[in-house]
Amino acid sequence: MMMRSTARRTIRISALALFALAAVAGCKHSAPPAAGLKATAAGSAIVESSGGHQVGVTGTVLKDPLVVQVNDDQGTAVPGALVEFHGSAGVSFDSAVMLTDSSGQATTLVTLGTIAGRYQLSAVTPGKSKPVSLDIVETALGYQQRVGSILADKYCNRCHDSESSPERVSNYDNLEVKPHAFTDGSTLNKMSDADLTSIILHGGPALNRSALMPPYGNTLSPADVRALIAYTRAVADPPFEPAGTVYARK
Amino acid sequence: MQSIRKILSSAWQALFGDPVRAFGVVSLGLLLALAIAPAKEHFSQWHSYQRHYLALIHDRGDAVSLRRRFQPGIHQIWLPELGVVDRCTTCHLGLNEASLGDVKEQPFRKHPVVPHSLDGFGCVICHGGQGPATTVAEAHHSERAGEEPILPTRYIESGCGQCHQNALLGTPRLNLGRTMLTRYGCVHCHAITRPDGTKVAATDHPPSLVHIADKTTREWIYSWLKDPQAYAASTTMPNYKLSDVDASDISAYLVSTSTTHAGDTAALGTKPAANADPSAGPSLYGESFCSSCHAVQNAAGNLVGGDLGPELTRLGNKVKPEWLTAWLQNPRIYDATTPMPQYRFTPQQITILVAFLQAKTDSDYGSSVHLDVASPPQIAHGRKLIVELGCAACHEINGVQKPENFAPDLSTIGSKPLTQIVFLPGMEHTMSSYIVAKIREPRAFGPSVKMPQFALTASQTDALTTALLALTNRSRTMPDNLRVAATPETNYQPAGHAGKLINELACFSCHRFNGRGGDMAPDLSWEGSAVQRQWLTDFLHNPNTLRPSLIRRMPRFNLSDSDNKELTDYILTVYQSPSIDADFTLTPGIDAGTVEHGRQLFYSKYACQACHIVDSKTDKGYIGPTLTQVGSRLTSAWVYAWLRNPQALRPGTTEPNQNLNDDDARALTAFLMSLKGPAGRGAKQ
């Protein structure tokens, strides 16, 4: 009896060690290769310049680089400060540790992990007395969600996305009843999948909303509609927390 | 010695001293030997994962059903037709479990939603790796004996491309890569045969160089050869990294062998009129919608315009004014197959446009280039280089044959055995990293490599790699019923004088007819069923824009009345849809009551004003075409059929099929047909 439990424990431990090893292997890209970098200055704040809140595709490089800036107490940029980028498992950076350039900025390309979802990144600078850090969120779309994003671009965004450019003019401002952006989590998170499905299939009037939203039930396939919903759930801000069966956790 | 013998004999005595004891010891030994196999299995990696999986699902709400679906032991997906023997599901136990979507730790996570089932296709078709292996190291990372580790996720779409030869909605990267294979001229040198035996054909249009000396100078050719991207950042011409001498000799050969083309430029003055309005050039360039195809770099360094034709930012540095004059008059004399339309400009317009385009000059570009007159040996060396580098694979060049099979065939590059590949030191031994490295810097593989340096972004390189990795042996050996063929471009050719006009105006560059042509502008295969004669005549004379939000537009061609009539007649007669009833009549007719009913349906029930404008004072929807004079433009038969099912007439159109009933469709048609536009419009302008 004793021997059995010992054996089981050894297996547990070896399994644990295995997972720890896998986790370490997964993170190895974001580990700091700090050698050869010597900070010449230190800041007291770190802010995002651009590249946060992007939506990319699993396992690929985000379109725009992530740029952060180190500032001092007066809010002026600090060149030569050390910046380290960290990311949740699976994320990698083309350079994870660097010094800020002459304009006080540190720039890196971000490769998303292979699992769809939100990735929490952080940029840390040692600071004068204690390290200061900045949290950044990027989103990775899986296959289905990306199909949704492509469909949304084709059928939906001309009204639902208020961003307008000469290449793709948005109709948003011209509509009497304003459509909800797909990222509008505060509204869309409250709607069930069934409600979203029926408004896509049968148009606004199905939920007693504006007829300006036409029915797509004869144009999109059921898989297309599921993809669209998966996409809106993936980009919702605040994040979508699926209701449904809540399982007990350890 | 004595003592060892003593110990051995006492041990022998202790173990096998009497028969009963001996029997016990032998039995014990046998038992241990028999236990080796089960113990080995018990301590195997996959077994530990299976135990871990059971522990993971133990506390979940649906543990009972998860446990019921769990089967211990080695799992295998065997698909002999596809050559798949995948044991991945031995450890990846939750792939089909919908409720395990929130599990973050591998190997238990649910597989993301994809269009195919795991049991039908297995894993390695998309992911690569070693399917039959039962340890993580062997399945994921093995590089032994030319085995490939699993494919990085960014190339995963190459899996789709093995069966799907057509463009899929969900694989933008693969689609881009395939477009690049044909647009960047890869297939001029590398032959690629699809599994169905058809060849991948190039879609770019490398200019013929047989009359090059008429077009440009030897100095420009030299600068261009040295660095094509310095002249036009967007060009697809690669950089051959030529030495000064080599570039000079090649330019000498091209210029010395160039023949004069038959253009008649004598009648046209090349000097701009002294009193020309300085705004005439830009406005003619704008009116002619040159920017639908040609891009120009603006002050901020961004390219503005289409990519169908070459970038014009520094055109003045390149072309000779007399060539440009002749080209604008009739591009087909210089190049019979050019996608550039023959605009039918007046001589005065040509003068204005030539002056405007010639002014697009960068005074720094090529200013330091001074070439001495080339000697015959230098010219001969230039020819040798042209043959060696395979310039004639893309360009027509006097005195040099187009080489056949100039570069390795890439039809099955995705399955090329790794043992046949020479990797660079420090390189990952995988096909994907080899292809990426080869595209990124071909000459890194040795100075004798002929492949030139392409100017590609990282994502373009990844896209190209994805398309190349899809070219596998499996894509050729799989059963035919799994293969989805590409839609081949037809060789449709319109007939007669109208056919000649359509070619001259290069309608195929933007429009599609019967499966051939571009996708910038609407498919016109059924245009004859859609539009009314008077509208079409007016439109060809002066194309006005139907969609206000479009920036690529149809240019105006100065067609003569007889040419216009010829084209109108041909389009109305030939481009007819078989599904549109030409004798369609509205019942009840377009009476006030039906029109009003249609108006209400338009505004209330179907809210078409979300995308269309009917009354330009109140409506603001400009996604679809403006409908203020649709009654003078479209036929009622087309409007009715369109309303019933837009996708049936134009597959993929964004207007949703609202599944209208017959009465509503007729009332809406009556309303739309009543919109004749403001009085006086529609008459000839």
Q: Lowest mean pLDDT: which of B142-151, B213-222, B599-608?
A: B142-151
Instruction: Find, in chain A, the residue whose alpha carbon is nearest to that of B648.
Output: A219
Range B212-358 has CATH code 1.20.1160 = no
Determine whether the interchain pair B52/A15 forms a contact, defined as Cβ–Cβ distance below 8 Å: yes
Separation CA B65–CA B67 (nearest Å): 5
Q: What is the pLDDT of residues B352-383, one digit of tens each?
A: 999 999 988 888 888 888 888 888 999 999 99
The mean pLDDT value for B630-657 works out to: 91
Determine whether the interchain pair A214/B606 forms a contact, defined as Cβ–Cβ distance below 8 Å: yes
Chain B residues inside the 8 Å CB shell of A58: 112, 153
Does the beta carbon of B106 lie under 8 angstroms from any beta carbon of chain A? yes
Check residue A68 and give left, alpha or beta (phi > 0: left; psi -120 to 50: alpha). Answer: beta
CA distances to A153, B462, B679 from B176, in Å: 17, 10, 47
Determine whether the interchain pair A210/B48 forms a contact, defined as Cβ–Cβ distance below 8 Å: no
Confidence of residue B226 (pLDDT cuts 50, 70, 90): very high
Confidence of residue A10 (pLDDT cuts 50, 70, 90): very low
Q: What is the CATH number of domain B592-673?
A: 1.10.760.10
Res. B267: pLDDT tops 70 = no
Confidence of residue B448 (pLDDT cuts 50, 70, 90): confident
Cα-Cα-Cα-Cα dihedral sign, residues B545, B547, B550, B553: negative
Instruction: Find, in chain B, the residue whose alpha carbon is nearest to that of A175.
Output: B610
CA distances to A72, B228, B520 from B203, in Å: 55, 20, 15
Provide the CA B678 distance to its chain's centre, in angstroms. 43
The pLDDT, as a whole number, for residue B681 is 44
The pLDDT, as a whole number, for residue B600 is 93
Q: What is the pLDDT of residues B287-335, one digit of tens each?
A: 888 988 999 988 888 888 888 899 999 999 999 999 999 999 999 888 8
Tokens of B539: 């439109």
Task: Specify the 3-state DSSP secondary structure of B150.
Answer: strand
Res. A25: pLDDT tops 80 = no
Res. B338: pLDDT tops 60 = yes
The mean pLDDT value for B570-581 works out to: 91
The pLDDT, as a whole number, for residue A28 is 40
Confidence of residue A11 (pLDDT cuts 50, 70, 90): very low
Chain B residues inside the 8 Å CB shell of A159: 610-611, 623
Chain B residues inside the 8 Å CB shell of A174: 620-622
Q: Lowest mean pLDDT: which of A94-98, B219-223, B498-502?
A: A94-98
The pLDDT, as a whole number, for residue B307 is 87
Provide the CA A41 distance to its chain's centre, in angstroms. 31
> Global pTM?
0.86
Q: Lowest mean pLDDT: which of A25-39, A59-73, B46-60, B175-189?
A: A25-39
Tokens of A40: 């010449």
Which CATH number applies to A37-141: 3.40.50.2300, 3.30.420.40, 1.25.60.10, 2.60.40.10?
A: 2.60.40.10
Confidence of residue B274 (pLDDT cuts 50, 70, 90): low
> pLDDT over 70 for what percent of chain A?
82
Q: Are the C-beta atoms of residues A214 and A203 closer than 8 Å to each other?
A: yes
Confidence of residue A29 (pLDDT cuts 50, 70, 90): very low
| Sequential DSSP letters for B484-508 | B---PPP-----HHHHHHHHHTTGG
Check residue A160 and give left, alpha or beta (phi > 0: left; psi -120 to 50: alpha). Answer: alpha
Determine whether the interchain pair A115/B611 forms a contact, defined as Cβ–Cβ distance below 8 Å: no
Q: What distance, in Å, lies between the first and last C-alpha atoms of chain A? A: 26
Res. A18: pLDDT tops 80 = no
Determine whether the interchain pair B610/A171 forms a contact, defined as Cβ–Cβ distance below 8 Å: yes
- ipTM for the whole complex: 0.86
Q: Which residues 57-76 of B have a C-beta within 8 angstroms of A?
A: 59-62
Chain B residues inside the 8 Å CB shell of A60: 153-154, 173, 459, 462
Does the beta carbon of B420 lie under 8 angstroms from any beta carbon of chain A? no
The pLDDT, as a whole number, for residue A43 is 84
The pLDDT, as a whole number, for residue A156 is 92
Angle between helical axes of B244-257 and B218-226 (0-180°, round to 10) = 140
Chain B residues inside the 8 Å CB shell of A155: 654, 656
Cis peptide before A238 (omega within 30 of 0): yes
CA distances to A86, A128, A129, B439 from A44, in Å: 19, 6, 8, 43
Res. B209: pLDDT tops 50 = yes
Number of CB pairs, chain A paired with chain B, less than 8 A apart: 117
Tokens of B277: 């309005």
Amino acid at B84: V
Query: CA angle, B610 as apex, B604 and B616 as ends, to 5°?
Result: 95
Confidence of residue B276 (pLDDT cuts 50, 70, 90): low
Confidence of residue B585 (pLDDT cuts 50, 70, 90): confident
Provide the CA B532 distance to its chain's centre, in angstroms. 35
Separation CA B371–CA B218 (nearest Å): 8
The mean pLDDT value for B131-157 works out to: 88
The pLDDT, as a whole number, for residue A36 is 66
Q: What is the pLDDT of residues A146-194, one digit of tens each?
A: 999 999 999 999 899 888 887 778 888 888 888 999 999 899 998 999 9
Confidence of residue A31 (pLDDT cuts 50, 70, 90): very low
Range A143-235 has CATH code 3.90.1010.10 = no
A210 CB contacts (<8 Å, ≥6 apart)? A176, A177, A204, B607
Task: Specify the 3-state DSSP secondary structure of B273.
Answer: coil
Confidence of residue B602 (pLDDT cuts 50, 70, 90): very high
Determine whether the interchain pair B604/A248 forms a contact, defined as Cβ–Cβ distance below 8 Å: no
Query: Could you tell me which residues are beta bridge partners of residue B86?
Result: B77
Determine whether the interchain pair A169/B109 forms a contact, defined as Cβ–Cβ distance below 8 Å: no
In this predicted model, which residue has the larger pLDDT, B551 or B56? Answer: B56
Residue B23: count of CB within 10 angstroms of its CB: 11
Provide φ and ψ at B12, rounded to 5°.
-55, -45
Determine whether the interchain pair A217/B623 forms a contact, defined as Cβ–Cβ distance below 8 Å: no
The pLDDT, as a whole number, for residue B31 is 93
| Sequential DSSP letters for B507-521 | GGGT-EETTEE-SSS
The pLDDT, as a whole number, for residue A225 is 96
Question: Residues in chain B, how many?
Answer: 685
Task: Specify the 3-state DSSP secondary structure of B486.
Answer: coil
| Nearest chain B CA: its distance from A249 CA (Å) | 7
Q: Are the C-beta atoms of residues B521 and B539 closer than 8 Å to each other?
A: no
Confidence of residue B503 (pLDDT cuts 50, 70, 90): very high
Separation CA B113–CA A227 (nearest Å): 9
> pLDDT over 70 for what percent of chain B?
96
The mean predicted confidence, pLDDT, of chain B is 88
In which residue ranges of chain A is CATH 2.60.40.10 found? 37-141
Confidence of residue B571 (pLDDT cuts 50, 70, 90): very high
Measuring CA to CA, which residue among A84, A140, A141 is closest to residue A112? Answer: A140
The pLDDT, as a whole number, for residue B669 is 92
Tokens of B266: 């004598």
The mean pLDDT value for B462-484 works out to: 92
Res. A19: pLDDT tops 80 = no
Q: For chain B, which residues make up each domain, given as ranges?
A: 2-42, 45-150, 161-203+406-482, 212-358, 496-574, 592-673
B412 CB contacts (<8 Å, ≥6 apart)? B471, B472, B473, B476
The pLDDT, as a whole number, for residue B305 is 87
> Which residue from A174, A219, A249 is facing B620, i.e. has the nearest CB?
A174
Res. B481: pLDDT tops 80 = yes
Helix ranges restricted to H, B43-83: 45-58, 63-69
> pLDDT over 90 for what percent of chain B?
48
- Residue identified by tokens 């390795």 is B408
- Domain topology for B496-574: Cytochrome Bc1 Complex; Chain D, domain 2 (1.10.760)
The mean pLDDT value for B392-417 works out to: 91
Q: Are the C-beta atoms of residues B297 and B376 closer than 8 Å to each other?
A: no
Amino acid at B54: L
Which CATH number applies to B161-203+406-482: 1.10.760, 1.20.120, 1.20.1530, 3.40.1710?
A: 1.10.760
The mean pLDDT value for B422-448 works out to: 91
> Which residue from B106, B462, B610 is facing A212, i.e. has the nearest CB?
B610
The pLDDT, as a whole number, for residue B273 is 52
In this predicted model, which residue has the larger pLDDT, A110 or B619? Answer: A110
Res. A107: pLDDT tops 80 = yes
The mean predicted confidence, pLDDT, of chain A is 82
The pLDDT, as a whole number, for residue A123 is 92
Q: At B354, which helix (H) or strand (E)?
A: helix B347-358
Measuring CA to CA, which residue among B395, B385, B382, B375 is closest to residue B251? Answer: B382
Tokens of B195: 């599994």
In which residue ranges of chain A is CATH 1.10.760.10 found? 143-235
Separation CA B253–CA B225 (nearest Å): 13
Q: What is the pLDDT of residues A83-96, one digit of tens each?
A: 999 988 889 898 88
